[in-house]
Structure formats: structure tokens, C-alpha cells
């Protein structure tokens, strides 16, 4: 009797784990089926995950936007942004339909077709007629081949390059890291080219 209960529990656990994996994969596949892409300049560190291997963690280079400084009687309103969640709206380039750079922030979720990323405000600094609102965007993980990891770290830290992280969004603003581009080439292709030219 006990062995039957253990068998049933074991099967329930296995089915539960498979369901979780299935849900995670379906979410990623749903995002991959969308064609809403954003490019952000980024900087990187290069950590290691013992279960999944080498990956690159990048964060957006841009960490502030300027907003008009409110009148003195309203100046506390902007200071209250510190520690608040905001929505960073990405600018759509008219010529390509690509999104790049954060041009505005909002405390309310945008109701337009604009792409946005949630962030946290950590500081507001008044600078005359404009105030700088500094925010922290989430870090983005990009998995990479083990043998390319060290070179990727060197390239991403080299100020001569302008790396871009490519984010792919679904309609609910969930996103995945599609690629990292160096000189408009995928990071791994750029590394291969770099290694063969040496």
C-alpha cells in the first residue's frame, strides 16, 4: 500500500515538473513568434551558471532621462519618484520601425503600441530647467558557448565597440534576449571572425 502511495506521489511530482517546464517553454516560444524587436546599447559582466553554463549578463548603458523640472511648489512630486517603479518607453526609429534608446518614462503603464521596460528610480537630480531621473533596468542574461565566454567578456568591455542587446517582445511586454550585436553582427559570429583573423 505504501509503495503505491509513493509511486503515485512520484508520478505527480514528475508530471508537475514537466508541466512547469512546458509552461516555461511555451512562454519563450510565444515571445519568439512575435516580431517586436528593441535594440539597446549595453555593458556587460561575464558570470557562470553551474547548471546552464557560461552566460553574459548585460545591462542597458542608458540609466537616466531628462524631464522638465517642475515649479518650486511641485518640486516634491518629482522627488517622490525615488524608489518607485516606472515604465521606460523605447523610441521607435521612423526609418526602420526599430526601437532604440529610452526617450521617456511614465509612472503609468503605457497604453499605446510602444515598447517599454519596467525599471526602478533610484535618484532624481535637478539641473536647472531639466531634472535627471536615474533608474535601474533589469540585467539581461545571454547564454554563450563556453569557449567564447572569455573573448565575449573582452569585446563587451572594450569601449571601441558599441554593443547592442536585442530584445524580442510579445504583446504583454514579456521579452527574451534574442541576441547581442557587435558592429551589427551577432556576438558569436563576431567572435568567430575575430578568432579566425588572428
Q: Cα–Cα distance between 29 and 11 in angstroms, integer? A: 26
Classify residue 75: in a domain, yes or no.
yes
Confidence of residue 167 (pLDDT cuts 50, 70, 90): confident
Domain interval for residue 117 = 67-95+102-136
Classify residue 178: in a domain, yes or no.
no
Whole-model pTM above 0.75? no
Residue 19 CB contacts under 8 Å (≥ 6 apart), including other chains: none
More confident residue, 6 or 41: 6
Classify residue 115: in a domain, yes or no.
yes
Q: What is the number of structural domains in the chain? A: 1
More confident residue, 92 or 176: 176
Classify residue 118: in a domain, yes or no.
yes
Classify residue 71: in a domain, yes or no.
yes
Residue 48 has pLDDT above 80, yes or no: no
CA distances from 14 to 75, 125, 126 (A): 56, 52, 56
The pLDDT value recorded for residue 52 is 54
Classify residue 122: in a domain, yes or no.
yes
Classify residue 11: in a domain, yes or no.
no
Confidence of residue 22 (pLDDT cuts 50, 70, 90): confident
Confidence of residue 116 (pLDDT cuts 50, 70, 90): confident
Confidence of residue 34 (pLDDT cuts 50, 70, 90): low
Amino acid at each position: 500500500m505504501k509503495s503505491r502511495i509513493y509511486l503515485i506521489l512520484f508520478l505527480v511530482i514528475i508530471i508537475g515538473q514537466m508541466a512547469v517546464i512546458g509552461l516555461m517553454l511555451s512562454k519563450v516560444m510565444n515571445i519568439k513568434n512575435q516580431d517586436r524587436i528593441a535594440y539597446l546599447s549595453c555593458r556587460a559582466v561575464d558570470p557562470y551558471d553551474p547548471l546552464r553554463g557560461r552566460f553574459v549578463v548585460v545591462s542597458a548603458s542608458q540609466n537616466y532621462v531628462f524631464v522638465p523640472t517642475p515649479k518650486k511648489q511641485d518640486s516634491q512630486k518629482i522627488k517622490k519618484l525615488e524608489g518607485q517603479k516606472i515604465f521606460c518607453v523605447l523610441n521607435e526609429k521612423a526609418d526602420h520601425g526599430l526601437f532604440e534608446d529610452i526617450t521617456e518614462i511614465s509612472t503609468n503603464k503605457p497604453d499605446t503600441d510602444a515598447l517599454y521596460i519596467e525599471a526602478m528610480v533610484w535618484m532624481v537630480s535637478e539641473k536647472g530647467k531639466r531634472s535627471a531621473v536615474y533608474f535601474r533596468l533589469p540585467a539581461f542574461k545571454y547564454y554563450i558557448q563556453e569557449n567564447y565566454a572569455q573573448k565575449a567578456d573582452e569585446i563587451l568591455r572594450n569601449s571601441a565597440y558599441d554593443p547592442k542587446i536585442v530584445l524580442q517582445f510579445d504583446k504583454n511586454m514579456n521579452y527574451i534576449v534574442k541576441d547581442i550585436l557587435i558592429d551589427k553582427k551577432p556576438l558569436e559570429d563576431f567572435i568567430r571572425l575575430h578568432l579566425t583573423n588572428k
